[in-house]
Amino acid sequence: MSLLLTICSLHFFAQLSPGPDVLLVAKSSASTTRQNTLKIVLGISVGIIVWVVLTLMGFTVLIQQWPWIQQVLMIIGGFFLAKMGYAMLRGGVSTLKQEVSLHGVIEQQPKNYFMMGLLTNLSNPKTLIYFSSVFSLALSSSANSHLKTQLAIIIPIQTFFVFTLFMLIMSMPKVKHLYQKSGSYIDIASGALFVIFALWLWLDALHLI
C-alpha cells in the first residue's frame, strides 16, 4: 500500500506541473462551460489509460530498442501542439481587434472537447518515459503482483478527479470574469506556450538522432 501511495503522490504533483494538459484545462475552465471542460478532462484521463497500459506492457523497452519510434511520436505530437498553439494565437490576436462577450468566446470554441483533451494528452510521448520512471518499482520482480492492476485503475481515476477539482477552481465566477476582461491576452499567452511545447518536443526529437 505504501508503494501505491508513493506512486499516486508522485503522479499528483506531476499532474499539476505546467504542461499542455494543465494549460488546456485551465483555459477551458475559464472560457467555456464546466460540461465542456469535463469532456476535456475525460479525454485526458483516457489518454492516461493509454500511457499507463503501454508502460505496464513494457512499450518503453521497444522504444529503447528502436528510438526512431519515439522520434516519430514526438514529431507528430509537436505538430498537433503547434497547430493548437497557432489557432489560439490567431484567435487571441483577432479578438484584440473587437469587443467580445464571454458568450461569444464560448461559441467559438471547438465542439469535440473529448478528442481535444485526448489528443492533447497523447501528443506528448514523453509521458511514456515519465510513467516508465515512476512505475519502475511497480515493474520490478519484487513488486506485488496486483500492483500493476491497481495502478492501471487508480492512476486514470486519480487524474480525472484531480483535474475535475482543478476545473471547479478555475471556473469560479471571479476567474471567468478575469478571462472575460483579458481573454485575448490569455489566448495569446496560451498559444505561445503551446508552440513552445511543440518546439521543445521537436528539439528533443533531434537530440535522439
pLDDT in tens, the chain (209 residues): 577 788 888 888 888 877 889 989 988 898 888 999 999 999 999 999 998 888 887 776 676 677 777 777 778 878 888 887 888 788 777 766 665 444 444 445 556 899 999 999 988 877 777 777 767 666 654 556 677 788 888 999 999 999 999 999 989 888 888 777 776 777 788 788 888 878 877 887 677 66
What is the per-residue pLDDT for 142? Answer: 53
Closest CA to 50 of 127, 114, 145, 116: 127
Answer for the pair 119, 20: CB distance below 8 angstroms, yes or no.
no
Task: Specify if 157 maps to a domain.
Answer: yes
Task: Specify if 153 maps to a domain.
Answer: yes
Task: Specify if 148 maps to a domain.
Answer: yes
Task: Specify if 136 maps to a domain.
Answer: yes
What is the per-residue pLDDT for 138? Answer: 63
What is the per-residue pLDDT for 13? Answer: 82
Q: How is 54-88 classified by DSSP, letter by letter?
A: HHHTTHHHHHHH-THHHHHHHHHHHHHHHHHHHHH
Task: Specify if 145 maps to a domain.
Answer: yes
Q: At what angle do helices 2-15 and 126-134 cross, to 10 degrees?
A: 150
Task: Specify if 105 maps to a domain.
Answer: no
What is the per-residue pLDDT for 162? Answer: 94
Alpha helices in the chain (DSSP H): 2-15, 20-31, 34-56, 59-65, 68-96, 102-107, 113-122, 126-134, 147-170, 173-207
The total number of structural domains that make up the chain: 1
Question: Range of 71's domain?
Answer: 21-96+112-208
Task: Specify if 72 maps to a domain.
Answer: yes
Task: Specify if 26 maps to a domain.
Answer: yes
Task: State the DSSP code for 19.
Answer: S
